[in-house]
């Protein structure tokens, strides 16, 4: 076999020494074409295999900052050596692996030479080559170039790599929310137009655009000026955004995350320091407490609990203001609109539907603010790091943590980017198990449902209940993952590495921008999708209306009651005279009339399309404690989870005797005989686990590449949700909790 082997590495890593040790006298020196960079070539043989060795210029990175970097990169692309041996200085692994990670991101077949292992040892650093190789997925061979030790093992590993002949999948590192989203979006466009993809991986091209790589920008502009300029526009947008929110640039953030990746990698048992060399950085010192095996999880739970306490305590007043505003708006519309369908649409459909969702904007804003602090400071990455260990037990991967957190692991995320974040997982099985279970997390849309039920039934312990909901979601997701990994998505586990970016003090401006962006997304959704769905569901709950004969029957009942007491003053509840005192007979009359009104409203709702669907499902859902109105709300929740609240708002206001009497939905539920804390728990459980919203299902289909998994997630999740909710309700009822 004959093959070309490129030697690469940082300056002073021992590249020349190794080159000489490998090639001996069989070498010659020239120049790379067109530049004055020296090119050394030589040859050697191993077990009958002929290897042509090319010494690449020493570089620290693969971005076109210097002529050496451009030469090294161009050689890899134009000559396509069968294997690259990256010589890393084992006594200075963190910095040297920076280049190795970039080779892996480029999808280059790589073998690591852990050189200067003797120097590392002298400095008290013991490197576990096997562990490093396992984590990075490439061979790592300890060498001492000066004495030639390890030379044969290195050649053997290189020959084996050539014989494998498999082009490795490029390494995907997560660069944080902002960059990952931009990268995914740019990658899609690059792939769609096969832009430079004959030379480089699509994500790598996107990354180079973000890093402002002069050579790739120039190549791109020549090849497809239109696409290049649209990519640059995205880069400008991201750059502005990062400058405002994190006071940094894409390039710096990319480098932070790469170092974070390496840092985390080395922490996973790759390096053992024999004695303290005072080389601990500030972040390391903080990490000693925050990611401590025992202290870390306790601090993490306290932080999450503190976040909920902060959110519920400070949002209480503004939530009341917004609710008050919608109440006032309802009164205003009730007073000024003429009786009829339009009034019902405005009051029951729009104001109660959208108002119910908008009422939670302050709460969501506070929650997002708290989460932005955790995220921007770098703490969230530590949470992920700590949970890594737990994830392996459930057949998931360390990188699954980020997908869970983005999906709402700390309440308030969204499963759509969460499902997309699973792209950082290399094993398809682990990726599938993650994307199927990430929607169990408590996304921002489920929050209003929980907030409503907590306000109605558990107002005395809001933060505690929210904390319990978080724990239930995590436990459920992990157990479901374990179940999937032992059945439909069986397969071996792969090693994991996570990025730990250094700690930063978040800027107030950045926190406000991140909070506002997410809140605005929520408000926009309430004003568009949810408004639309609220109107459709209102129509479904209003039509067809009761037949004339049935309406006339209720009217006859009213007339009959009124006729029994010709002298009593009959009035509507809530009117001004109500409090002035009625005689006992008049009060009794009024109650009877109210009962007829209520029966008519309920009969009307039940007769409607939605009512019929809800009622048809009732025989099954009763086991979980849900009546037909809740069924309608849950069906609406499949379009978007916030709709559960808006639909309950509409259903209960349509079913009310007097919809003009503005009462927050939470009070209506608390006063309703169909509801109890047990029903609330059952609905909470169901909401956590049942079918993801429609957009998430589409994303699951796209990411898994099959409708089968989209359909699976709808049926599997709903079945899990139903079994759990019915279990809770039945056991609770048995114990006398209803």
Q: Give the total of residues touching ligand BGO (CB under 6 A).
A: 16
Determine the Cα–Cα distance for residues 185 and 46; give it in Å rounded to an integer. Answer: 45
Among 58, 260, 296, 501, binds ligand BGO (CB under 6 A): 58
Complex with ligand BGO: residue 14 or 359, whichever CB lies closer? 14
The b-or-e profile of 333-362 (16+ CB within 10 A means b, else e) is bbeeeeeeeebbbbbbbbbbbbbbbbbbbb
Half-sphere exposure of 324 (CA within 13 A, CB side): 6
Q: Name every residue whose Cβ is closer than 8 Å to that of residue 336 and which is 6 or more positions away in sequence.
A: none
Determine the Cα–Cα distance for residues 735 and 732; give it in Å rounded to an integer. Answer: 5
Radius of gyration, alpha carbons of the chain = 32
One character per residue 649-668, x = contact with ligand BGO (rule: CB under 6 A): --------------------
Q: Nearest distance from residue 435's CB to ligand BGO, in Å?
A: 43
Alpha helix locations (H) across 579-664?
A: 584-607, 609-621, 628-637, 643-655
In angstroms, the first-to-last Cα distance of the chain is 77
Q: Which stretch binds ligand BGO (CB under 6 A): 8-16, 233-241, 543-551, 618-626?
A: 8-16
One character per residue 146-185, x = contact with ligand BGO (rule: CB under 6 A): x---------------------------------------
Q: Nearest distance from residue 123's CB to ligand BGO, in Å?
A: 11
Tokens of 415: 């499963």
Among 3, 5, 6, 14, binds ligand BGO (CB under 6 A): 14
With beta carbons less than 8 A apart as the criterion, state whether 311 and 374 touch.
Answer: no
Q: Name every residue whose Cβ is closer than 8 Å to that of residue 113 and which is 6 or more positions away in sequence.
A: 9, 18, 85, 86, 87, 88, 141, 143, 145, 150, 154
Complex with ligand BGO: residue 7 or 76, whichever CB lies closer? 7
**Site membership for ligand BGO, residue 9 (CB under 6 A):** yes
**Site membership for ligand BGO, residue 241 (CB under 6 A):** no
Phi-psi region of 345 (alpha: psi -120 to 50; beta: other; left: phi over 0): alpha
Coarse DSSP helix, strand, coil percentages of the chain, rounded to the nearest 5 percent: 65, 5, 25
**Site membership for ligand BGO, residue 4 (CB under 6 A):** no
Complex with ligand BGO: residue 12 or 313, whichever CB lies closer? 12
Q: Which stretch binds ligand BGO (CB under 6 A): 9-17, 213-221, 326-334, 558-566?
A: 9-17
**Site membership for ligand BGO, residue 480 (CB under 6 A):** no
Got the DSSP string for 426-446?
A: -SHHHHHHHHHHGGGS-BTTT
**Site membership for ligand BGO, residue 636 (CB under 6 A):** no
Complex with ligand BGO: residue 87 or 721, whichever CB lies closer? 87
**Site membership for ligand BGO, residue 42 (CB under 6 A):** no
Complex with ligand BGO: residue 118 or 316, whichever CB lies closer? 118
> What part of residues 507-566 is at the interface with ligand BGO (CB under 6 A)?
none
Closest CA to 171 of 213, 217, 110, 112: 110
Q: Nearest distance from residue 32's CB to ligand BGO, in Å?
A: 16
Q: Which stretch binds ligand BGO (CB under 6 A): 73-81, 138-146, 354-362, 629-637?
A: 138-146
Q: Which stretch binds ligand BGO (CB under 6 A): 76-84, 124-132, 139-147, 185-193?
A: 139-147
Complex with ligand BGO: residue 151 or 382, whichever CB lies closer? 151
3 state DSSP class of 101: helix
Kindly tell me the burial class for residue 528, based on how many C-beta atoms sit within 10 Å of its own C-beta (0-12, 13-18, 19 or more). exposed
Edge-to-edge strand ranges of the sheet holding 2-9: 27-31, 38-46, 49-55, 2-9, 83-89, 110-115, 140-142
Tokens of 298: 């306790």
**Site membership for ligand BGO, residue 17 (CB under 6 A):** yes
Determine the Cα–Cα distance for residues 26 and 42; give it in Å rounded to an integer. Answer: 5
Q: Nearest distance from residue 91's CB to ligand BGO, in Å?
A: 9
Q: What is the DSSP letter of 578?
A: G
Complex with ligand BGO: residue 14 or 732, whichever CB lies closer? 14
Q: Nearest distance from residue 263's CB to ligand BGO, in Å?
A: 23
Residue nearest ligand BGO (C-beta atom): 14
Q: Name every residue whose Cβ is closer than 8 Å to that of residue 493 and which is 6 or more positions away in sequence.
A: 392, 395, 397, 427, 430
Complex with ligand BGO: residue 68 or 249, whichever CB lies closer? 68
**Site membership for ligand BGO, residue 11 (CB under 6 A):** yes
One character per residue 268-307, x = contact with ligand BGO (rule: CB under 6 A): ----------------------------------------
Q: What is the DSSP letter of 497?
A: -
Among 4, 13, 311, 427, binds ligand BGO (CB under 6 A): 13
Q: Nearest distance from residue 62's CB to ligand BGO, in Å?
A: 16
**Site membership for ligand BGO, residue 56 (CB under 6 A):** no
Q: What is the DSSP letter of 501?
A: P
Determine the Cα–Cα distance for residues 271 and 263; give it in Å rounded to an integer. Answer: 10
Closest CA to 614 of 598, 603, 626: 626
**Site membership for ligand BGO, residue 15 (CB under 6 A):** yes
Place of tokens 């305590």: 313
**Site membership for ligand BGO, residue 84 (CB under 6 A):** no
**Site membership for ligand BGO, residue 631 (CB under 6 A):** no
**Site membership for ligand BGO, residue 145 (CB under 6 A):** yes
Q: Nearest distance from residue 691's CB to ligand BGO, in Å?
A: 57
Complex with ligand BGO: residue 88 or 685, whichever CB lies closer? 88
> What part of residues 101-120 is at the interface with ligand BGO (CB under 6 A)?
115-116, 118-119
Q: Which residues pair with 51 in a beta bridge?
A: 3, 44
State the residues that interact with ligand BGO by CB under 6 A: 9, 11-17, 58, 115-116, 118-119, 144-146
């Amino acid at each position: 076999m004959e093959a070309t082997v490129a030697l690469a590495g940082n300056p002073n890593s021992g590249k020349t020494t190794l080159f000489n040790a490998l090639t001996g006298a069989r070498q010659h020196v020239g120049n790379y074409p067109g530049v004055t960079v020296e090119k050394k070539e030589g040859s050697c043989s191993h077990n009958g295999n002929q290897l042509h060795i090319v010494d690449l210029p020493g570089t620290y990175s693969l971005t076109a900052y210097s002529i050496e970097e451009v030469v090294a990169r161009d050689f890899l692309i134009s000559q396509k050596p069968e294997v690259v041996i990256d010589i890393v200085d084992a006594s200075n692994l963190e910095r040297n692996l920076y280049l190795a990670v970039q080779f892996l991101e480029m999808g280059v077949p790589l073998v690591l030479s852990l050189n200067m292992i003797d120097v590392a040892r002298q400095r008290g650093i013991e490197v576990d080559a096997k562990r490093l190789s396992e984590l990075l997925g490439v061979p790592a061979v300890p060498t001492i170039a000066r004495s030639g030790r390890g030379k044969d093992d290195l050649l053997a590993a290189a020959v084996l790599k050539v014989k494998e002949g498999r082009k490795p999948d490029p390494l995907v590192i997560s660069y944080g929310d902002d960059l990952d989203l931009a990268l995914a979006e740019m990658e899609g466009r690059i792939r769609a137009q096969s832009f430079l993809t004959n030379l480089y991986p699509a994500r790598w091209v996107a990354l180079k655009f973000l890093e402002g790589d002069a050579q790739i920008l120039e190549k791109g502009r020549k090849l497809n000026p239109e696409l290049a300029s649209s990519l640059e526009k995205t880069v400008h947008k991201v750059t502005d955004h990062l400058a405002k929110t994190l006071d940094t640039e894409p390039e710096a953030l990319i480098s932070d995350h790469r170092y974070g990746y390496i840092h985390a990698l080395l922490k996973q048992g790759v390096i053992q320091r024999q004695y303290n060399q005072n080389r601990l950085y500030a972040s390391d010192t903080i990490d000693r407490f925050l990611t401590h095996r025992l202290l870390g999880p306790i601090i993490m739970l306290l932080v999450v609990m503190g976040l909920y306490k902060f959110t519920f305590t400070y949002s209480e007043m503004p939530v009341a203001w917004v609710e008050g505003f919608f109440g006032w708006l309802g009164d205003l519309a009730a007073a000024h609109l003429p009786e009829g369908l339009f009034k019902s649409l405005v009051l029951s459909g729009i104001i109660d539907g959208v108002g119910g969702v908008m009422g939670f904007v302050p709460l969501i804003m506070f929650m997002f603010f708290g989460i932005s602090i955790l995220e921007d400071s770098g703490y969230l990455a530590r949470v992920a790091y700590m949970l890594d260990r737990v994830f392996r037990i459930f057949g998931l991967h360390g990188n699954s943590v980020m997908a869970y957190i983005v999906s709402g692991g700390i309440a308030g995320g969204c499963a759509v980017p969460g499902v997309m974040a699973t792209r950082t997982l290399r094993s398809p099985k682990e990726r599938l198990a993650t994307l199927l279970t990430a929607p169990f997390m408590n996304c921002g849309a489920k929050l209003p449902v929980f907030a409503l039920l907590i306000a109605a039934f558990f107002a005395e312990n809001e933060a505690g209940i929210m904390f319990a909901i978080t724990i239930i979601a995590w436990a459920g997701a992990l157990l479901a993952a374990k179940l999937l990994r032992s059945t439909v998505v069986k397969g071996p586990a792969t090693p994991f590495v996570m990025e730990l970016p250094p700690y930063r003090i978040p800027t107030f401006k950045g926190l406000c921008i991140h909070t506002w962006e997410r809140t605005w997304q929520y408000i926009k959704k309430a004003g568009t999708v949810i408004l639309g769905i609220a109107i459709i569901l209102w129509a479904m709950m209003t039509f067809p209306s009761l037949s004339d004969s049935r309406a006339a029957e209720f009217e006859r009942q009213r007339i009959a009651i009124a006729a029994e007491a010709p002298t009593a003053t009959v009035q509507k509840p809530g009117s001004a005279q109500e409090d002035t005192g009625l005689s006992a007979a008049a009060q009794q009359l009024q109650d009877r009339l109210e009962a007829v009104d209520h029966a008519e409203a309920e009969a009307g709702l039940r007769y409607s399309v939605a009512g019929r669907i809800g009622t048809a499902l009732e025989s099954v859902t009763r086991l979980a404690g849900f009546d037909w109105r809740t069924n309608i709300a849950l069906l609406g929740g499949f379009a978007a989870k916030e709709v559960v609240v808006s639909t309950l708002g509409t259903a209960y206001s349509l079913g009310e005797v007097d919809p003009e009497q503005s009462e927050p939905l939470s009070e209506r539920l608390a006063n309703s005989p169909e509801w109890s804390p047990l029903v609330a728990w059952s609905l909470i459980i169901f909401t956590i686990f049942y079918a993801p919203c429609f957009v998430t299902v589409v994303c699951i289909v796209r990411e898994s590449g099959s409708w089968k998994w989209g359909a699976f997630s709808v049926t599997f999740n709903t079945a899990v949700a139903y079994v759990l909710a019915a279990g809770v309700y039945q056991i609770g009822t048995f114990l006398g909790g209803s």
